């Protein structure tokens, strides 16, 4: 059984299609049509809804998470509160239609809607920001600035307004701490969610185990069933390719996959943790990865996609594998009885193929903690700044001792059938002086010929080769301690 709240109403579902999306459920099963279908791929944001759940770091508070309902499966709402645009106005006030929610009213006041198709999605993204504020993990309210608003609205596209009035409306609405019917009912909502979460999980064809042993049993009982976490990639098979699936096993409730712990030597990240939940610990230890992590699709995608899923998909253009390759990550693999580890350099075996065997799953990703002589940079090249797939991704991690390269690890995406390293780069430059013009020129030469990328709609092969070479040049320049040397080398390059 799947149990959740729709607004303040308890909903129990005994049977449902395993591939039923939240958008289909809202529009076809609940007959609520404010939530729109635009792309059916998680790109446009017209279908944005909000899931509320107890905040991890704040007692007695709720965290509001925007998701793309077109690619979110029904299993994702178990134990949570589902809110869509019809719930926001206060029907008890101002007559039959009720009083608009503050984020709805401010969008009217700023003339932020024209054709209106994208408006419900924008409203829900603004609603989540209204409640979470600029610091969702803090008890102290801080009014969001323009960058916070851009991040909150990063998953919503509009073809009419040019965004300025929408951004202005969001800034205006979120200046004060939340004061609406949802904040007033927070204690009641938390109590209801606590009781819902403790119930048995799953329907006949949607299995939701809560521990590694029950996950193993589910796989043994349903050997052909696919594992699913965030569903941001898998759901495209249902919405774009119109495939059907009878049974799915969700790992989103397996407790051992939902924790991030720090040891003396490493950061251990549970594989089922949504990307946005691990941004803080990742950037705390690896702040240089901010460009890559904060440009990982959009906020609603990061709220749902998981680090384990991004690795297990083995996509050649996934954003995280190049970073993990450069950091020397170790993949922890489990089958419910035995656990093993595999260095990520040996994990990818072919196009969307890995060393995972039947009955195994990724339980965690382990990242060695950095030392003070490491120099890290992550670069993502795409046609759009956000909510886009990489044409080329490059991450360089160089350890220097008095300007001598002691170690060099790098990870690349978009240049081969799998995420790749470049042994020639590491072997050739190790022991050389990083600031030398020789290091610059050798690195560029190696990367220009190291891979055989393809031509596709995102970039040509020659473009990708040139970009890789230039990214090494950029990394070399950004990490020079002697600017005079760098300037002289560039002038003669």
Q: Name the residue among 432, 434, 430, 428 with its Cα closest to residue 481.
A: 434
User: Residue 49: is its pLDDT beyond 70?
Assistant: yes
CA 330 to chain centroid, in Å, comes to 20
Instruction: Kindly report each contact of residues 397-400 with a partner whose C-beta sits within 8 Å and lies 24 or more positions away, as own/partner.
Output: 397/326, 397/327, 397/328, 398/374, 398/434, 398/475, 398/479, 399/371, 399/373, 399/374, 399/375, 400/373, 400/375, 400/434
Residue 55 domain boundaries: 2-197
Average pLDDT rounded to a whole number, residues 431-453:
97
pLDDT of residue 14: 85
Q: Indicate whether 186 and 123 sit together in one domain.
A: yes
**For residue 30, what is the domain's CATH number?**
3.10.20.30
pLDDT one-digit tens code per residue, 56-110: 877 778 999 999 999 999 999 999 999 999 999 987 666 566 799 999 999 999 9
CATH number of the domain where residue 356 is located? 3.30.465.10
User: In this structure, are 95 and 241 located in the same domain?
Assistant: no
In the structure encoding, which two tokens stand for residue 151, read together?
């991040």
Q: If DSSP codes are grouped into helix, strand and coil, which group holds residue 108?
A: helix
- According to DSSP, residue 365 is labeled E
Residue 201 is predicted with a pLDDT of: 65
Output the six-digit token pair for 60. Answer: 């007695």
Lowest mean pLDDT among 36-40, 54-58, 174-178, 434-438: 54-58
Tell me 122's DSSP state: H
Tell me what pLDDT residue 279 has: 94
pLDDT of res. 492: 47
- Give the separation between CA 56 and CA 62, rounded to whole angstroms: 9
Q: Are residues 33 and 112 in the same domain?
A: yes
What's the pLDDT band for 342 if we cut at 50, 70, 90?
very high
- Residues 61 and 178 both lie in one domain: yes
Helical pair 102-109 and 119-132, crossing angle rounded to 10 deg: 120
Other Cβ atoms closer than 10 A to 199 = 12
- How high is the pLDDT of residue 161? 87
25 and 161 part of one domain: yes
Question: Which phi and psi (to 5°) does residue 463 adopt?
Answer: -60, -45
Q: Are residues 60 and 143 in the same domain?
A: yes
Under the banding of pLDDT at 50, 70 and 90, the label for residue 248 is very high
Indicate the pLDDT class of residue 349, thresholds 50, 70 and 90. very high
Query: For residue 481, is pLDDT > 90?
Result: no
CATH code for position 390: 3.30.390.50
Q: Which pLDDT value is given to residue 31?
A: 96
Portion of the chain with pLDDT greater than 90, in percent: 85
What CATH number is given to the structural domain containing 241? Answer: 3.30.43.10
Check whether residue 452 and residue 421 sit in a common domain.
Answer: yes
Last residue of some domain: 368, 389, 419? 368
The whole-number pLDDT of residue 59 equals 72
Give the burial string for 7-41 (b: 16+ CB within 10 Å, else e).
beeebebeebbbbbbbbbbbbeeeeeebbbbbbbe
**Residues 42 and 146 occupy one common structural domain:** yes
* Whether residues 245 and 261 fall in one domain: no
Q: Which residues contact 173 (CB under 8 A, 6 or more apart)?
A: 102, 103, 106, 126, 130
**Residue 198 in this model has a pLDDT that exceeds 80:** no
Same domain, yes or no: 355 and 463: no
The tokens 């360089």 sit on which residue?
Answer: 396
Domains in the chain: how many in total? 4
Regarding whether 331 and 381 lie in a shared domain, the answer is: no
Q: Which of 156, 180, 197 is the last residue of a domain?
A: 197
pLDDT band at 486 (very low <50, low <70, confident <90, very high): very low
Reported for 132-139, long-range contacts at CB under 8 A and 24+ positions apart, including other chains, are 132/63, 132/64, 133/174, 133/177, 133/178, 136/55, 136/63, 137/55, 137/56, 137/57, 137/58, 137/280, 138/58, 139/58, 139/61
Contact by Cβ (8 Å): 83, 186: no
pLDDT at position 116 over 60: yes
Average of per-residue pLDDT values in the chain:
92
Say yes or no: 361 and 403 in one domain.
no
Say which residue, 291 or 487, is predicted with more confidence: 291
pLDDT at 162 over 80: yes
């Amino acid at each position: 059984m799947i149990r959740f709240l729709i607004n303040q109403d308890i909903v129990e579902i005994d049977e449902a299609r395993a591939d039923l999306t939240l958008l289909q459920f809202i529009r076809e099963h609940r007959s609520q049509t404010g939530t729109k279908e635009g792309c059916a791929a998680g790109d446009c944001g017209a279908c944005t809804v909000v899931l509320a759940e107890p905040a991890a770091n704040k007692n007695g508070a709720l965290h509001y998470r925007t998701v793309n309902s077109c690619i979110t499966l029904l299993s994702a709402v178990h134990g949570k509160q589902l809110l869509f645009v019809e719930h926001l106005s206060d029907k008890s006030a101002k007559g039959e239609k009720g009083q608009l929610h503050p984020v709805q009213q401010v969008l009217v006041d700023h003339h932020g809607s024209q054709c209106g198709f994208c408006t419900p999605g924008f409203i829900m993204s603004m609603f989540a920001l209204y409640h979470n504020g600029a610091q969702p993990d803090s008890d102290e309210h801080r009014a969001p600035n323009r960058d916070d608003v851009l991040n909150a609205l990063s998953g919503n596209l509009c073809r009419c307004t040019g965004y300025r009035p929408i951004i202005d409306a969001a800034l205006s609405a979120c200046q004060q701490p939340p004061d609406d019917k949802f904040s007033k009912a927070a204690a009641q909502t938390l109590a209801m969610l606590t009781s819902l979460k403790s119930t048995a999980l799953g329907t006949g064809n949607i299995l939701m185990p809560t521990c590694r042993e029950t996950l193993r049993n589910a796989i043994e009982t349903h050997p052909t069933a696919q594992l699913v976490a965030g569903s941001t990639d898998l759901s495209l098979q249902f919405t774009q390719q119109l495939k059907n699936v009878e049974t799915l096993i969700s790992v989103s409730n397996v407790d051992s996959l939902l924790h991030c712990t720090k040891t003396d030597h490493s950061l251990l990240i549970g594989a089922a943790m949504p990307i946005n939940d691990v941004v803080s610990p990742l950037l705390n230890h690896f702040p240089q990865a901010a460009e890559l992590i904060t440009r990982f699709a959009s906020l609603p995608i990061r709220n749902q996609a998981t680090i384990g899923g991004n690795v297990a998909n083995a996509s050649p253009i996934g954003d995280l594998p190049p970073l993990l390759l450069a950091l020397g990550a170790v993949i922890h693999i489990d089958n419910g009885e035995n656990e093993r580890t595999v260095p990520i350099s040996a994990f990818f075996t072919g196009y969307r193929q890995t060393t995972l065997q039947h009955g195994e799953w990724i339980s965690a990703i382990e990242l060695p903690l950095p030392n003070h002589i490491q120099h890290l940079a992550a670069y993502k090249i795409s046609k759009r700044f956000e909510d886009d797939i990489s044409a080329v991704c490059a991450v360089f991690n160089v350890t220097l001792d008095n300007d001598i390269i002691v170690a060099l690890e790098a990870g690349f995406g978009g240049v081969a059938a799998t995420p790749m390293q470049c042994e020639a780069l590491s072997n050739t430059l190790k022991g050389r002086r990083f600031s030398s013009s020789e290091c610059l020129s050798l690195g560029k030469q190696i990367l220009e010929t190291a891979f055989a990328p393809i031509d596709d709609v995102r970039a040509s092969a020659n473009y990708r080769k040139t970009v890789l070479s230039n990214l090494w040049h950029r990394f070399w320049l950004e990490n020079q301690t002697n600017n005079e040397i760098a300037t002289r080398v560039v002038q003669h390059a």
